[in-house]
Amino acid sequence: MKTHEIRERFTQHFVNSGHEAVPSASLILDDPNLLFVNAGMVPFKPYFLGQQNPPFPNGLATSIQKCVRTLDIEEVGITTRHNTFFQMAGNFSFGQYFKEGAIENAWALLTNSVDEGGFGLDPDRLWVTVYLDDDEAAKIWNEKIGVPKERIQRMGMEDNYWSMGVPGPCGPCSEIYYDRGPEYGVEGGPEADDNRYMEIWNLVFMQNIRGEGNGKGDFELLGELPKKNIDTGLGIERVACILQGVDNVYETDLLAPVIAEAEKVTGATYEDPEDERINDVRFRVIADHSRTAMMLILDGVTPSNEGRGYILRRLVRRIIRSARLLGAQAEVLERFMNTIMDTMELSYPEIAQNRERILRVALNEEKSFLKTLESGTHRFDEVAAAAKTEGKTVVRGQEAFELHDTYGFPIDLTLEMAAEAGLEVDMDSFNAAMTEQRERAKADNRAKKHGHADESLYREWVDNQPTVFTGYEELASDAKVIGLVRDGEKVTSAGAGEQVEVILDHSPLYAESGGQMADRGRIFTGDTVLDVQDVQKIGKKLWVHKATVASGGLDLGSQVTAEVDQKWRHGATQAHTATHLIHAALREVLGPTAVQAGSLNRPGYLRFDFNFTEQLSDAQLEEIALIANQAVDADFAVNTIETSLEEAKAMGAMALFGENYGHDVRVVEIGGPFSIELCGGTHVSHSSQIGPISVLGESSVGSGARRIEAYSGMDAFRYYSKEAALIDAVSKDLKVPSDDLPGRIASLTEKLKQAEKEIAKLHQAQLQAKSAEFVAQAQDINGFKVLTLNLPNGVAANDLRTLATDLRNRLSNDDAIVVLASENDGKLPFIAAATKSAVARGVKSGDVVKLFGGYVDGRGGGKPDMAQGAGSNAGGIEQGFAAVRDFAETL
């Protein structure tokens, strides 16, 4: 019975008995306690809690709710019944029927024949559990339904008592299990083996009110509900598993097609589920996560680094990495997503209208992650190899933090890869590094935004003596010290060496705003000099100068001069105006949807974030750089206009990301219609004063957001000079003109690849030439030919496999076991092979590999006739060989 038919039968069964069919709610509900809907009753919570009256005329409802649970995501594929996305079928009674009605409805659907609209399950294979003292439910099951007492088991509060985890309705449960047979485990019912006895339906009898408490069982029962309710949940995937006669939920009609597609994409084979090979888990991860990711995107989730978006991102990354580990070389998500959409569309017709969007979101995330995976995996391999070379089994937390911070590698991915390499991660030191980073960020933010002090401290100045900014007209201004703050307290003076916040009535120094960093400069009078490192705004009106007293001392009320560092200001204005040009060029190349999403500019450097879903091509980047530099060459006048917000919008001025504007605004216009934006920053007076703009590249900074980075002015010149010097040096080394470098480098690269192939062939030929010599070294042990070789000169894993195949073939007339190992650049690949007759006598190469791997700090696996692995402890090779010979003695 196909899954869609199971859904239809469930719904029709309860509609026929007076329930109103309620469509599934979105996976995303406005519930601060839930990332996703994780149970069928979640959309009905307001009715169970008494917050709303149920809108169903008969007080009865039924639904098949989309659910996602990801707390135990690592269990996916390992257990036979765990999915991250699942469909929970339920029937609900609000003050109508209670235990007897719920039990009778469930039993009828499960055991009625297919012709009668039921699932046709054998009643003798159904077991039930009830809460410890729920004699009423036990009596109904036994006397009304006819379930023998020996198939009714009582369980405690942890298993058979339900609540929402907060004060409110609660009650005992009765769960229905299906006995899958002795091949799945021991006899004795659910309490003996919950793998053999698969839970398919949970009937919750809401009859009590719970109080405060922790956990599933640590709470007080306050009394009975005035109206008793029923909430049930049947797992559609689990029932499909049983009715379709498959061993696990990954092989049902919804997910099996994805596994089949993954076999085509990867070239690997999905083995017998009982084999417990890690490949099976990877296939199941691909199938399960493809469906969950598709359903999340369907309901509006997009990848990001937090919350729901992070869950989606993690699922997608696990799909991609699992496919890579199975042998996939190219992008895979389009094929997986199309397959799962085909299988799910019958039950969820809305997929058809959203196919293009789902694919676009998934494929953009895949392209982004493949870059991260390549660089991060390479770095992880280096870290893992170094740890094993040093004889360690733990990856240092600082290295895991580097992978996270520098390479964008999520810690869960590092943990997975470490486990596969036989390593652990020092999570204590990783968490310490993460905490330290967060504290640094918080401290920096407090220092800049004055979070360390109550802003009411500055309220008097904000309201009565706001700073007059003079920096648009001049770089030095006379001013009066109207406030001094040190360590969050008002002071009347500051001495040499002290750090102090200085508040002036006038200031030419620009306070950080709109992406432009604050000016550097100085405050001085007589022998007193203060170096200004930062300037921040309080309440948009007060300039607070963070300064260090370099000499002399400063008193409240002093008359001083505040002066901007001219070199700093010049570089800052170049970069800020260049940011406007880049923005205009972006919109010209990419269209009006490429709008600003954040920026930062400091002297000589800018970064510009913009909303766009696709990576920019080299041609697009070149065009953006060309347009921006053409605007520089055009020597456009940079005009500033003070006007009302309404007038500015009428002029077509663009507002910047994250800015809140008052009634009066400042418009910066460059080259007439070329660029016109609302902006309070400082700028050059003509675009030619920017100097060259060198676009360094672009990257992703989140789902649907890209970032361009560039140098301006002398920094751009220095960058170009460095690049030119590098090209000149390479040109001289290769003795070709610079224009011919691309062709020359491509030619050399191709020759290098060919040379590496020839060397590999030569290496293999040399090894095979010695095959006869190697075969002669085989030892006779217990009727077996056992050949163990520690090959010198760093033989690679592929060469080991070729040689092992050749040696096995040469020994094919014997019961032979071949084990080869070779230390190679800190790595230790090893391989085991067995002839057909040796396999017939009980030899499994996978067992041999595991035995040998234990002596060289390695692991591996494979088929009975050949298996391979990798280790790190070359000192254990001979002990490992001895263990293999001892193993042959026992066969």
Q: Are residues 575 and 548 in the same domain?
A: no
Statement to judge: residues 341 and 241 lie in one domain: no
Query: 448-461, pLDDT tens digit by residue?
Result: 444 434 566 887 88
| Res. 439: pLDDT tops 70 | no
Segment 652-677 shows an average pLDDT of 74
Question: Does 735 fall in a domain?
Answer: no
With respect to residue 726, please indicate whether it lies within any of the assigned structural domains.
Answer: no
Cα angle: 193, vertex 85, 234; to 5 degrees: 55
- Work out the average pLDDT over 631-648: 89
User: Are residues 777 and 663 both part of a single domain?
Assistant: no
Segment 118-172, tens digit of pLDDT: 999 999 999 999 999 999 999 999 999 999 999 999 999 888 998 877 777 889 9
C-alpha dihedral (863, 866, 869, 874), degrees to nearest 10 = 150
Residue 559 shares a structural domain with residue 577:
no
Please state which of the ranges 164-173, 344-353, 716-725 shows the lowest mean pLDDT: 164-173
Helix or strand or coil: residue 522? Answer: strand
Q: Model-level pTM?
A: 0.52
Q: What is the pLDDT of residue 155?
A: 93
Residue 762 lies in a domain: no
Same domain flag for 424 and 327 = no
Give the model's pLDDT for residue 293.
95
Same domain, 430 and 334: no
Q: Quote the radius of gyration of the chain (alpha carbons, Å).
A: 35
- pLDDT tens string 540-553: 789 999 999 999 99
pLDDT digits over 34-87, tens only? 789 988 988 888 788 776 788 888 999 999 999 998 876 777 877 777 789 999
- Residue 122 and residue 9 share a domain: yes
% of the chain at pLDDT higher than 70: 93
Q: What is the pLDDT of residues 744-767, one digit of tens each?
A: 898 999 999 888 778 777 777 777
Dist CA 321 CA 301 (whole Å): 21
Judge whether 749 lies within some domain.
no
- CATH number, residue 644: 3.30.980.10
Same domain for 411 and 351: no
Range list of β-strands (E), 74-196: 85-94, 126-131, 152-155, 161-163, 168-179
In a domain, 378, yes or no: no
Region 168-196: what's the mean pLDDT? 92
Q: How many CB atoms lie within 10 A of CB 569?
A: 20
The torsion angle over the Cα atoms of residues 141, 146, 150 and 155, rounded to 10 degrees, is -10
Residue 33 in this model has a pLDDT that exceeds 80: no
Residue 437 or 493, more confident: 493
* Last residue of one domain, picked from the residues 184, 214, 247: 247
Per-residue pLDDT band for 658 (boundaries 50, 70, 90) equals: very low
- At 468, which helix (H) or strand (E)? strand 468-469
pLDDT of 51: 64
Best CA proximity match to 579, nearest among 700, 474, 472, 679: 679
Same domain (yes/no): 584, 695: yes
Is residue 679 part of an annotated ligand binding site? yes
Q: Is 67 annotated as a binding residue?
A: no
CB of 96 within 8 A of CB of 60? yes
Range of the domain at 490: 455-564
**573 burial level (CB within 10 Å; 0-12, 13-18, 19+):** buried
- Give per-residue pLDDT as tens, 827-871: 889 999 999 999 999 899 989 999 999 999 988 888 899 999 999
281: in domain: yes
Q: What is the mean pLDDT of residues 174-179?
A: 96
Q: By mean pLDDT, which of 204-208, 555-559, 598-602 is the weakest?
A: 598-602
Lookup result for tokens 């799945």 = 184
Residue 513 in 3-state DSSP? strand
Residue 738 is assigned to a structural domain of this protein: no
pLDDT of 353 reads 82
Render 275-322 in DSSP notation, one character per residue.
G--HHHHHHHHHHHHHHHHHHHHHTT----SSHHHHHHHHHHHHHHHH
Q: Mapping DSSP to helix (H, G, I), strand (E, B) and coil, where does residue 198 land?
A: strand
Do 544 and 658 fall into the same domain? no
| Contact present, 712 and 691 (Cβ < 8 Å) | yes
Q: Give the integer Cα–Cα distance in Å for 428 and 42.
A: 36
Quick one: DSSP state of residue 516? B
Q: pLDDT at residue 657 above 50?
A: no
**429, 449, 469 - which closes a domain:** 449
pLDDT reported for residue 593: 61
* C-alpha distances in Å from residue 363, one per residue of 278, 317, 355, 613, 701: 26, 11, 12, 10, 16
pLDDT of residue 388: 84
Helix axes 307-326, 256-266, angle to 10 degrees: 50
Is pLDDT at 649 greater than 80 in this prediction?
no
pLDDT on residue 181:
93
Whole-number pLDDT of residue 415: 85
Query: What CA–CA distance (Å, rounded) separates 285 from 79?
Result: 11
pLDDT at 229 over 50: yes
State the total domains in the chain.
6
Give the model's pLDDT for residue 704: 66
The helix/strand/coil state of 598 is strand
pLDDT range class, residue 534, cuts 50, 70, 90: very high
Which pLDDT score, from 0 to 100, does residue 492 have? 94
Which of 449, 473, 489 is the endpoint of a domain? 449
Do residues 27 and 299 touch, judged by C-beta distance below 8 A?
A: yes
- Of 236-240, 437-441, 455-459, 678-682, the range with the lowest mean pLDDT is 437-441
Percent of the chain beyond pLDDT 90?
54
Q: Is 269 a member of any domain?
A: yes
pLDDT, greater one: 8 or 219: 8
On whether 576 is known to bind a ligand per the annotation, the reply is yes
Select the more confidently predicted residue: 429 or 290.
Answer: 290
Domain match, 582 and 542 both:
no
d(CA 501, CA 584): 38
- Encoded tokens for 514: 């709109």
Give the pLDDT mean for 215-229.
80
Let me know whether 577 and 714 are in one domain: yes
259-285 pLDDT, tens digit per residue, is: 999 999 999 998 755 445 667 889 999
pLDDT band with cut points at 50, 70 and 90 for residue 30: low
pLDDT at 324: 86
Provide the pLDDT for residue 623: 95
What is the mean pLDDT of the segment spanning 170-199?
Answer: 93
Residue 445 has pLDDT above 60, yes or no: no
